[in-house]
Amino acid sequence: MGKLGGFLQIERHGVPQRDPLERAHDFHEFLLQRPVAELREQGARCMDCGVPFCHNGCPLGNLIPDWNDLVYRDRFADAIAQLHATNNFPEFTGRLCPAPCEAACVLEIREGDAVTIKQIENAIINRAWEEGWVKPQPPRPDRETAQAVAVVGSGPAGMAAAQQLRRAGHRVTLFERDEAIGGLVRFGVPDFKIEKRVVQRRVEQMLAEGVEMRCGVDVGRDIGADELLSGFDAVVLATGSRVPRDLAVPGRELDGVHFAMDYLYQRNRWVARTLEGTGELGPAPAGAQPRIEREITAAGKDVVVIGGGDTGADCVGNALREQARSVVQLELLSEPPPQRPDELTPWPLWPLKYRLSYAMEEARKLGVGEQDYSVTTTAFADDGSGALAGLRVAQALPEPPFAPVPGSERELPAQLVLLAMGFLGPEQELLDQLGVARDQRGNIKAHAPYTTSVDGVFAAGDARRGQSLIVWAINEGRQCARMVDRYLAAQRGGERPGALAAEDEAIAGHADADAGPEGPPQHVGPGIGAPEA
């Protein structure tokens, strides 16, 4: 455990951030890191409780008290070994995870007092990269199976599945239709939350381990489902949940109303074109970018983002960096309470309470933006030439279907509206071609853990569970890889090439963990999976 009684003597100090007034003018990450001495103090606060609820809170089942203690003892090299045992990409979660583990930390019974777990996780992996401790881990030559697996989709779920399967000795081809690997972590989440060099160095590691990567290949169009099934011993579908929820109100067709993801893809590609490869923000992806059909820009405009979630916040953050004239973020639901509502979401559940987003903090400090709750949009207004001039909005009733309150209508000026109201499910074309069964929401249905209705086809990540979180995607990729590995072993008649060493089992992710559909115990996760409006 950490320091005996440490939590009584040392106060929580959260993740330091760059000044919003400064960071809103560039694309560098805004999270900072504490010096090692301070991090060790924060690790010392961990009590190593008899029942560590943080394990349950973390979808990956990260061994949190173990590495908190190792950081306290300044044993960072041991800490990264512990962390990598359950998490392929701690630098993704250390930067981007909403940290349900902290909501479940026993110290959080006194609200706001949890061990600052996510900060410690990020510091461990940052140090490991700096020290050169993160190395490719290709399978031993005598463990090569010569069985071929296609992983379709290179978001965190596909990346984790591909890495696990390659380390288990299979030939893995990772297909991606975009020009670079990473899924939403590359093309959705902005550089100021995670610089893309952080994604790219994992890509390099996976290449060195022997994963074949084929970017610019839209599976289902460039390669047919038949070819996929006949050319590989197993297929993993990790295509994400990409169909956006639309807003069917008059004026939706006006020039200036766009889906959030169209805007975010363009902004991330703009950063890759202009800042990456210049030395300012790491290497640019090698693949050519697609031609832009219609440029979406917030520069100098009044921008309204419809949807109060994380996608909406990332739109606000980008619009500010483009120097929008004003930015308003609208949320259909009413404003959550400032404190954990114990009657609704008691500890150790994820508390449904108000959180000021990084982007809204920036907007307020710059004096150009505000977030508004309980607002429904009834129409978009035309400027007379087919372009957007504004929105008609009204106060929304607090219960579904959130109807407008009569007499509360008002106008908002806007030349750009971004729809960030969540996602309906995965694109269906490839799933139709393969003939895999779907659940009621259109997600890929797993009739056994991560196993679809088509023999040899497996599914992981948002495509299976609906739009969720990176930490869940990594977990699904790992668990799915374990199911695929078992399937391939059965195809070979059950024998494994080479002798099995215990550490290899752990690396490959098939140590004797449970085989339940969700891997580690379920936890009520935070709301990215929930509809955003």
Ligand X SMILES: Cc1cc2nc3c(=O)[nH]c(=O)nc-3n(C[C@H](O)[C@H](O)[C@H](O)COP(=O)(O)OP(=O)(O)OC[C@H]3O[C@@H](n4cnc5c(N)ncnc54)[C@H](O)[C@@H]3O)c2cc1C
Write out the binding residues for ligand X, residues 76-115 only, by CB under 6 A: 96-97
Position 31 contacts ligand SF4 (CB under 6 A): no
Of 123, 172, 219, 446, the one binding ligand X by CB under 6 A = 219
The nearer residue to ligand SF4, 118 or 193, going by C-beta atoms, is 118
Helix (H) or strand (E) run with residue 376 in it: strand 375-382
The nearer residue to ligand X, 96 or 165, going by C-beta atoms, is 96
116 interacts with, out of ligand X, ligand SF4, none, CB within 5 to 8 A per kind: none
**In the bound complex, what is the minimum distance in angstroms from residue 222's beta carbon to ligand SF4?**
34
419 DSSP assignment: E
Residue with token string 């960096």: 321
**Alpha-carbon distance 280 to 312, whole Å?**
26
Radius of gyration of the chain (CA): 23
Of 20, 100, 169, 220, the one binding ligand SF4 by CB under 6 A = 100
462 interacts with, out of ligand SF4, ligand X, none, CB within 5 to 8 A per kind: ligand X
60 interacts with, out of ligand X, ligand SF4, none, CB within 5 to 8 A per kind: ligand SF4
Write out the binding residues for ligand X, residues 263-282 only, by CB under 6 A: 264
**Alpha-carbon distance 209 to 171, whole Å?**
10
Contacts of residue 400, Cβ cutoff 8 Å, sequence gap at least 6: none
Of 95, 118, 269, 340, the one binding ligand SF4 by CB under 6 A = 118
**Alpha-carbon distance 253 to 247, whole Å?**
10
Write out the binding residues for ligand X, residues 405-444 only, by CB under 6 A: 430
311 interacts with, out of ligand SF4, ligand X, none, CB within 5 to 8 A per kind: ligand X
Angle at 48 between CA 43 and CA 52, to 5 degrees: 115
**Which neighbouring-strand residues pair with 326?**
302
Position 200 contacts ligand X (CB under 6 A): no
Q: Give DSSP secondary structure letters for 111-180.
A: TT----HHHHHHHHHHHHHHHT-----PPPGGG----EEEEE--SHHHHHHHHHHHHTT-EEEEEESSSS
Of 100, 158, 251, 422, the one binding ligand X by CB under 6 A = 158
Of 63, 80, 101, 393, the one binding ligand SF4 by CB under 6 A = 101
Of 42, 82, 88, 93, the one binding ligand SF4 by CB under 6 A = 93
Position 60 contacts ligand SF4 (CB under 6 A): yes
Cβ atoms of 144 and 169 within 8 Å: the answer is yes
395 DSSP assignment: E
**In the bound complex, what is the minimum distance in angstroms from residue 492's beta carbon to ligand X?**
28
Write out the binding residues for ligand SF4, residues 487-516 only, by CB under 6 A: none
Residue 130 burial (CB < 10 Å; 0-12/13-18/19+)? exposed
Of 54, 189, 417, 419, the one binding ligand X by CB under 6 A = 189
Q: Give DSSP secondary structure letters for 191-260.
A: TTTS-HHHHHHHHHHHHHHT-EEEET--BTTTB-HHHHHHH-SEEEE-----EEPP--STTTTSBTEEEH
Of 46, 106, 117, 172, the one binding ligand SF4 by CB under 6 A = 117
**In the bound complex, what is the minimum distance in angstroms from residue 82's beta carbon to ligand SF4?**
11
**Alpha-carbon distance 419 to 430, whole Å?**
25
Residues that bind ligand X (CB under 6 A): 96-97, 152-158, 175-178, 183-185, 188-189, 218-220, 238-240, 264, 310-311, 314, 430, 461-463, 467-471, 473, 528
